[in-house]
Amino acid sequence: MPRFDLPLDQLRRYAPTVAEPADFDDFWRGTLAEAATTPVLLDVRPERTGLPLLDTWDVTFAGFGGDPVRAWYTRPAAVRAPLPTVVEYVGYGRGRGLPHERLTWPVAGYAHLLMDSRGQSGRYGVGDTPDPHGAPGGPWPVTWGILDPHDYHYRRLITDAVRAVEAARALPGVDPDRVAAAGNSQGGGLALAVAGLVGDLAALLSTAPFLCHVQRAIELTDASPYGEIAQYLAVHRESEEAVRRTLSYVDGVSFARRASAPAHFGIGLCDTVCPPSTGFAAYNQYGAATGRPTPAREMHTYPFNGHEGGEAVHTRRQLRWLAGVLGSSRAAPAAAGSAAR
């Protein structure tokens, strides 16, 4: 796959000014305050998986508007101590799937909360969380409610992502001071938003992040999901100003500037889905608006890979990095039959 974006030496310096609404902070402060009026945990019940080395629970927590959002909570079986925890977000068009599909983090000794993506089930994986809010927009999730930031699907999804961290901290067996946000593509964008909105997050792992430098992305690539926004504007020609305004409230560069957690990034330099320059725009400005020294961060690039990035090689790098940031994820086993409750 040929490279189509900036060369690597320019990417390493690429820090564009991204349009940011004057009320960006007030918008998100008010959105999250409204969500916080509902207790976060709604239901937690054990799930039989047939995996004796892991314990899994089917979790329902209150997301945007108090809407029930589903998640899988998995951790090593029969472990005594509270564990460092990875809250993971899935890619565009995916749901949480089945509990045995994503086991890297619990097998590595972490507690793991995998959030469902409201309304997005069916394209690549199944989910259990509807998005009951309707508003004018296009037929794809990235265009739902896109004419107004208050109605936009990603206002709801980002709120869910923040609430997932709060839900994780309320679960038994979680060390609330050692919670990391992680994801790839859409999940990487959600994790980045969480890093900008949750001031005491312990770590960020963001790979090929979506929703970064969106104004450039919709002009640079016609691959989905950005291509779906372009398709919408090709029909709704008079809506460009409103769409661009809405997108400015969810841009990962703005969230990255407000983030303070140690961060681990990965990008394929041939990625036509989430162009490399858009992810570098976030990485190069990470922590810039905090008034503090730049947080510890690292970027791993894969010159001959597209949206798949480094795959297992990158995961190995994430595992080694996170162990160094959060400390050992190993804990002494409990007595037989005393799995975490």
Q: Which alpha helices (H) appear in 21-103, and where do they start and end?
A: 24-35
Distance CA 284, CA 265 (A): 11
Cβ–Cβ under 8 Å, residues 222 and 128: no
Give catalytic status of residue 213 as yes or no: no
In the set 131, 160, 271, 329, the catalytic residue is 271
Distance CA 174, CA 112 (A): 9
Give catalytic status of residue 121 as yes or no: no
Contacts of 83 (CB under 8 A, 6+ apart): 75, 76, 109, 110, 111, 173, 174, 175, 178, 329, 331
Q: Provide DSSP, 221-286.
A: --STTHHHHHHHHHH-GGGHHHHHHHHHTS-HHHHHHT--S-EEEEEETT-SSS-HHHHHHHHTTT
How many Cβ atoms from other residues are within 10 Å of residue 90's Cβ? 25
Q: Which alpha helices (H) appear in 42-146, and where do they start and end?
A: 104-107
In the set 251, 307, 314, 329, the catalytic residue is 307
Give catalytic status of residue 100 as yes or no: no
In the set 117, 185, 277, 329, the catalytic residue is 185
| Catalytic center residues | 185, 271, 307
